[in-house]
Amino acid sequence: MGGFPILSTMILVPLIGAIICLFLEAKAARSVALVITLINLALGIVLWLNYDIGGAQWQFAERADLFAGFQYALGIDGIALMLIMLSVFLMPICIGASWEAIKTRVGEYMAAFLLMETLMIGTFAAQDIFLFYIFFEAGLIPMYLIIGIWGGDNRIYASYKFFLYTLLGSVLMLIAMFWMVNVAGTSSIAALMQYDFAPEAQTWLWLAFFASFAVKMPMWPVHTWLPDAHVQAPTAGSVILAGVLLKLGGYGFIRFSLPMFPEASAQFAWLVFALSMIAVVVTSLIALVQHDMKKLIAYSSVAHMAIVTVGLFSFNVQGLEGSMIVMLSHGLVSGALFLCVGVIYDRLHTREIDRYGGLSINMPAYATLFLLFTMASIGLPGTSGFVGEFLSLAGIYQVSSTVAFVCTTGIILGAGYMLYLYRRVAFGEQKNADAAAMPDLTMREYALLTPIAAVVLWMGIYPESFLAPMRADIAALDARLARAAPAGDAMISFGEPVVDEAVIEEAPTTPDAAVEEAQ
Amino acid sequence: MNASILAIVFVPLLAAIVAGLGGRMIGHTAAKALTTGGLFLAAALSWPIFISFIGGSAEATVVPVLKWVQSGALTFDWALRVDALTAVMLVVITTVSALVHLYSWGYMEEDPDQSRFFAYLSLFTFAMLMLVTADNLVQMFFGWEGVGLASYLLIGFWYKKPTANAAAIKAFVVNRVGDLGFMLGIFGIFMVFQTTSIPEILEAAPAMAGSTIGFMGMRIDTLTIICLLLFIGAMGKSAQLGLHTWLPDAMEGPTPVSALIHAATMVTAGVFMVCRLSPLFETSATAMAVVTVVGAATCFFAATIGTTQWDIKRVIAYSTCSQLGYMFFAAGVGAYGPAMFHLFTHAFFKALLFLGAGSVIHAMHHEQDMRYYGGLRKHIPITFWAMLLGTLAITGLGVYHLGVGFAGFWSKDAILEVAWAAGTTTSVTAFWLGTFAALLTSFYSWRLMFLTFWGKPRWIESEHIQHSVHKTPQEAGEDTTGGYHPHESPISMLIPLGVLSIGAVVAGQVFHDPFLQESEFWNGAIAFNAELMVAMTEVPYLVKYAALIVMVIGFIAAWYAYIRKPSVPKETAKQLGPIYHFVLNKWYFDELYNFLFIKPAFWFGRVFWKRGDEATIDRFGPNGAAWLVGQGSGLAKKVQSGYLNSYALIMLLGVVAAVTWVLF
């Protein structure tokens, strides 16, 4: 790539586009937004093609010193690369999904989306902890606006809830960041990832970050903003919320909590497991009884994100890689499911499941694609959903068979609520005349859904394309976590069936000893 | 051989994609011809492979296809493995599938969605082939879930019917319960063996004897828990006792589907899995005992229900469930050869019975209730003869000393004999349950035949027939046919019946040697217990003739109850009272599961939603905060302006202020 600042370009292009869009009338704003997002997608592909797998950990680095040690530093590893790809891939689809649905203040709407793209890429590319924070928190502002201005009837309540939850977390995280920078003497994320904080400090630092990331994930019981936000957001807002914003929490865990506070992460793994197990069972059951399509998918997202958190805190390669794939897959699949809801919402203006039925008859192409995404959501092998889920659960099994068992029940419950949804929407008699009169997919809608379908199958059949760039980074993280990795309860032992002591002895060093060694 | 293996597996996939996505463009006939042709090609390529294994000239082959997943030590690829065990499955799957495709030309002739139907059939075949050619457990799981998807789509093929939709979901979800076990089994295997490759696991398994792993807070023998978890998966797919409830409901699908998926192939996947992993199961006596007990119990339990059902397809469905039980307890006593042999012969005669039943249903204007059949022998003679041969095969007619018999004679007798020969308490119990089930098998099979083909026509009582002839029973008066004329099925449906009839007659006679005796055929593809196979031939004559004796008793009982004295069934039902109702209502499994799982799931869902999320978390969380703010100072009221822009602004200012404060 030479010295071409591609990351800055990718951040800057949508920003410029956003400013232009503000001054354009509806039709032009749509076209400009689409062109801008496609340019960024092209840049993203260039980025991926030029990413040197197995090369330096941080690539495409850029750096400029600003005031008082605060740096404009960018750079990506494989993990960030994949999440940037997810963002730039979904963005043109979001613009396309808003093409006809958004009729008021189109220029501002497109500007908000483009601004969000800038901020998301910035979040994943930031190499300075404060730069990260600014992108991370500011990324939510366009989202508030999208929900609050272009949302449904109850949009103010939803955006208020969204705001309140995220605010709570981020204040604590900011304080923790100041403390860390003071102690470690650097605000570089790469350096902080290698820095060993004292175990006592790690405990509260971990909790401060956890408050923010748990809300973003979202984990039970701080998930209740998500269903409301999804229900009120316009289709494209839901896509980007599920597709990228929910990944910020997982990215935070993998970038900050785990490498910076390994001991505390091990110490609090039980908390993460407990909340995740509750989430899998409880939110799946809640999804089963929903009448609103978007709410159902929103609750299913909480259950899927719980698989991400257990995978992350399993402290092994399978769990970490699985979590990343679940995040990518969920971004695509739940984004696609929200698009599917949008397709029929645009026709009938209701999300009430019972208002539909028998769509296989009048919308066969729609029903086929919807089925594919339903199957990907419930983790059918051959789709992206399976690879991630399987690896995460395989990872967690090595730590705790009980957690693995509870989380694996998600495959039963997931099949239950998704197939129940599909049955009520696509199968059965056409009991509503207006739903029966809906036309099948338009070319525009094909263009939105088929690329996602293709990637979902690609990731399911040949996930190596996505795993390979992350492999070295995950391995490095795994190596860093090794000193704190908990011994599994399921580990094999020979001889007489006994004894927990034997297992504990086999465990790596205890957290304290490891820190002493490090010092 | 490599090219033909690839063609066998991927031609059905390509045909399915073209017919499914392009069906509208190329038209029904082209879609049907493409899929059917593809399957006949696959069958034509499969038989030479099978024959070469029987001749001992072929060796196990692995054809690598594509890298799949590499995550640390956990790696697995797409690859096709063919050995003797797979070869058996290849011929069963491709042959029955090709015939079912052909049969569907006639059966589905008037359906507006034919190309979709054929695409699903081919998709199913592809998934099933991936399952049996798997070289690692994850690919097997891919096939496992793929056939589940196809089964879901085909059961719910007539998606306007609410019962079909319910049955489709039930099949998928119940299978997922089994899959939970399968997945945990794979995780356990990976943890213990650090691989999912089947040959590597089988090789390493004996060395793990005596070790323990933790499972849900207990420490359990490693190999036992792994085998049991995998077996839960097998129980789901093969509809064994406890996880069987989906199979009878699956009869909502079109009849060719029942023949292919719910009789000949998919439901045998569990048996295949146990045989494929037989060296692993051999290492755990406990797991083997469980397999035996579950198999024997299912074999008996399903047969009892089969004697009371009125729907012709449900009788055959319970029969399938029962026959799968035989295969499992054979595997459980260590006789994998007889288990696979029964799987092989069963595929022919059970597909025959289902397709025959489909032909009857076709002739009877979609009526499935045997109470409204009767006297069909002369109206649909070819179907009658095919069904008769199928019945003789399933009931196992054959004479040991003459060395002749129908397919079921060879395989079922082998299973009963080997259960006796194994000589353990569980295996002998299985022998007695199996023998009693054989009596019931004979009874319900002949009951089906007598109700359908003998006696006087009772057609006019059927609503379907009434619709067809536009008469009520009163109007028809004396003429209980209502003037309805059943027609024999078209040639495309009769050819498969003919071919399968041949299979039902000769499959046992021709192939028993390679399956049952130590030869070059198995060649390590299954754990072959040569001693047991020899002991099997030396059991007392009474054991060898047990199946024939109970078959005759069952025949006479059915003849007496349904031909000689048709009042008997009602009287017996009255006398048995509660027992009859218990069996008629399928041992109340559906009611029990509904009460234990389905209702509570919805109830808890509503409670967690309304009481949990809304009444607790939101009330004390965000809404509580809003309330506090509302009660607070005037400043707070101003902040709580409701304008998002001002929130955003305040937030941004706060961040800038904080950054400034710390850094300067």
Q: What is the pLDDT of residues A257-313, one digit of tens each?
A: 999 999 999 989 999 999 999 999 999 999 999 999 999 999 999 999 999 999 999
Helical H segments across B378-490, by residue range: 381-395, 407-422, 425-453, 463-469, 473-476
Q: Decide if A490 and B605 are in contact by the 8 Å CB cutoff.
A: no
Say which amino acid occupies A276.
S
Closest chain A C-alpha to B1 CA, distance in angstroms: 25
Contacts of A317 in chain B (CB under 8 A): 71-74
In angstroms, rounded to a whole number, what is the distance separating the alpha carbons of residues B451 and B372? 9
Q: Do A160 and B70 touch (CB under 8 A)?
A: no
- Residues of chain B in contact with residue A282, where contact means CB-CB under 8 angstroms, are 608, 612
Cα–Cα dist B310/B307, whole Å: 9
Residues 232 through 291 of chain A touching chain B, CB cutoff 8 Å: 282-283, 285-290
Task: Give the whole-angstrom CA distance, residue A23 versus residue A29.
Answer: 8
- Quick check: A397 and B156 CB within 8 A? no
Q: Distance between CA A115 and CA A120 in Å, rounded?
A: 9
CB-based contact, B190 to chain A, within 8 Å? yes
Per the structure block, which two tokens stand in for A243?
A: 């597709």
CA distance A432 to A448: 27
Predicted pLDDT at A514: 41
Q: Do B183 and A288 touch (CB under 8 A)?
A: no
Name every chain A residue with its beta carbon within 8 A of the beta carbon of B659: 70, 130
Alpha carbon dihedral B40, B42, B45, B48, in 10-degree steps, equals -80
Give B153-184 as a DSSP string.
Answer: HHHTSSTT-HHHHHHHHHHHHHHHHHHHHHHH
Residue A516: pLDDT over 50: no
SS3 content of chain B, % helix, strand, coil (to 5): 75, 5, 20
Spacing of C-alpha B663 from chain mean position = 68
For residues B71 and A389, what is the distance between their CA atoms, to the nearest angstrom?
A: 13
User: Which of B72, B219, B644 is closest, CB to CB, to A145?
Assistant: B644
For residue A119, pLDDT beyond 80: yes
Decide if B590 touches A, using CB distance below 8 A: no
Cα separation, A334 vs A241, whole angstroms:
10
Phi and psi for A130 in degrees, rounded to 5? -80, -35
Task: List pLDDT tens digits, range A314-345.
Answer: 999 999 999 999 999 999 999 999 999 999 99
3-state SS, residue A256: helix
Cβ contact, residue pair A415, B173, below 8 Å: yes
Separation CA A246–CA A87 (nearest Å): 12
Q: What is the predicted ipTM?
A: 0.91
Instruction: Kindly report whether the peptide bond that precedes residue A218 is cis, defined as omega within 30 degrees of 0.
Output: yes
Q: Is the pLDDT of residue A510 over 50?
A: no
Q: Which residues of B touch A108 (CB under 8 A)?
A: none
Q: What is the pTM of this model?
A: 0.91
Q: What is the pLDDT of residues A17-65, one digit of tens each?
A: 999 998 888 889 999 999 999 999 999 999 999 998 888 888 888 888 7
- Half-sphere exposure (CA, 13 Å, Cβ side) for B562? 26
Q: CA-CA distance, B267 to B31, in Å (whole number)?
A: 27
- A361 CB neighbours in chain B (<8 A) are 160
Which of B111, B176, B182, B639 has the highest number of chain A CBs within 10 A, making it the mutation to test binding with A?
Answer: B176
**How high is the pLDDT of residue B638?**
55
Model confidence pLDDT, tens digit, residues A176-197:
998 998 888 888 898 899 888 8
B 458-517 residues inside an 8 A Cβ radius of A: none
Q: What is the mean pLDDT of each run of 10 residues along chain B (664 residues)?
A: 92 94 88 95 95 87 92 91 93 95 92 91 95 94 94 92 92 94 94 92 88 85 93 94 91 93 92 94 93 95 92 94 94 93 94 95 90 90 95 91 89 93 91 95 95 89 83 78 86 94 92 84 85 87 90 94 86 85 85 88 88 80 71 55 64 69 58
Amino acid at site A501:
E
A487 in B contact zone (CB under 8 Å): no
Tell me how far apart the alpha carbons of residues A514 and A125 are, in angstroms, rounded to a whole number.
31
**Shortest alpha-carbon distance between residue B419 and chain A (Å):** 32
Task: State which residue of chain B sits closest to A321, comparing Cα positions.
Answer: B71
Query: What are the φ/ψ torsions at residue B80 (nearest 5 degrees)?
Result: -115, 120
Select the residue of A391, A423, A488 nearest B71 (Cβ to Cβ). Answer: A391
Q: Which residues of B touch A322 (CB under 8 A)?
A: 71
Residue to mutate among A133, A155, A224, A275, with most B CBs inside 10 A, is: A224
pLDDT of residue B635: 52
Q: Find out whether A444 and A96 touch, Cβ atoms under 8 Å.
A: yes
Q: Nearest C-alpha of chain A: how many angstroms from B555? A: 43
C-alpha separations of A159 from A215, A224, A446, B234 in Å: 14, 12, 31, 48
Chosen for mutation from A155, A179, A275, A390 (greatest number of chain B CBs closer than 10 Å) is A390
Instruction: Collapse the DSSP code of A32 into the 3-class scheme (helix H, G, I; strand E, B; otherwise coil) and give the result.
Output: helix
Q: Identify the DSSP state of A489.
A: T
Is-contact B117 B111, C-beta < 8 A?
A: yes
- Residues 8..37 of B with a Cβ closer than 8 Å to A: which? 21
Q: Cβ A178–B645 below 8 Å, yes or no?
A: no
Query: Are B184 and A405 an interchain contact pair (Cβ–Cβ within 8 Å)?
Result: yes
Across A85-98, average pLDDT: 94
Q: What backbone phi and psi angles, to 5 degrees, belong to A128?
A: -110, 135
The β-bridge partners of B80 are B63
Looking only at the bridges linking them, the beta strands covering B212-215 and B218-221 are: antiparallel
Q: Which of A159, A285, A475 sits opposite B605 (nearest CB)?
A: A285
Closest residue of chain B to A158, computed from CA coordinates? B622
User: What percent of chain A stands above pLDDT 70?
Assistant: 93
pLDDT of residue B583: 82
Do B71 and A167 lie within an 8 Å CB cutoff?
no
Chain B positions touching A420 (Cβ under 8 A) are: 169
User: In the numeric block, which tokens belong to residue B192?
Assistant: 């213990």
Give CA separation, B553 vs B31, B541, B561, B589, B609, in Å.
Answer: 48, 18, 12, 30, 58
Q: Residue A380: list chain B partners with CB under 8 A.
A: 145-146, 149
Q: What is the DSSP letter of A379?
A: T
Residue B37 CA, distance from chain mean position? 25
| A454-509 pLDDT, tens digit each | 999 999 999 999 999 999 999 999 998 888 877 777 667 765 444 444 444 444 44
Number of residue pairs across A and B with CB atoms under 8 Å?
Answer: 227
Question: Is the CB of B156 less than 8 angstroms away from the CB of A427?
Answer: yes
Chain A positions touching B208 (Cβ under 8 A) are 492
CA distance A303 to chain B (A): 13
* Tally of CA atoms within 13 A in the half-sphere of A56 that contains its CB: 8
Terminal CA-to-CA distance of chain A, rounded, Å? Answer: 39
CB pair distance less than 8 Å for B659 and A401: no
Tell me the chain B residues in contact with residue A285 when contact means C-beta distances shorter than 8 Å.
601, 604-605, 608
Q: Calculate mean pLDDT across residues A218-226.
A: 88
High-pLDDT (> 90) share of chain A, %: 57
Question: Chain A residues with CB inside 8 Å of B140's CB?
Answer: none
- Is B190 in Cβ contact with A419 (below 8 Å)? no
**CB contact residues (below 8 A), chain B span 201-240, against chain A:** 208, 210-217, 219-222
Structure tokens at A326: 């679940």
Q: What are the CA-CA distances from residue A451 to residues A81, A332, A445 (Å)?
A: 19, 10, 11
Name which of A88, A129, A123 is nearest A451 in CA terms: A88
Q: B611 burial class (0-12, 13-18, 19+ CB within 10 angstroms)?
A: exposed
Supply the pLDDT for residue A511.
Answer: 43
Which residues in chain B are closer than 8 Å to A412, comparing Cβ atoms?
173, 176-177, 180
Please give the backbone phi and psi of residue B312, each rounded to the nearest 5 degrees, phi first: -60, -40
| Residue A431 binned pLDDT confidence (cut-offs 50, 70, 90) | confident
Rounded Cα distance between A509 and A514, Å, is 6
Which tokens is A327 given? 């995040």
**Residue B76 in 3-state DSSP?**
strand
Token pair in block for residue A53: 């797998």
Whether the CB-CB separation of B213 and A492 falls below 8 Å is answered with yes
Structure tokens at B46: 């499969």
Chain A residues in contact with B73 by the CB 8 A cut-off are 317
Cβ within 8 Å, pair A412-B642: no
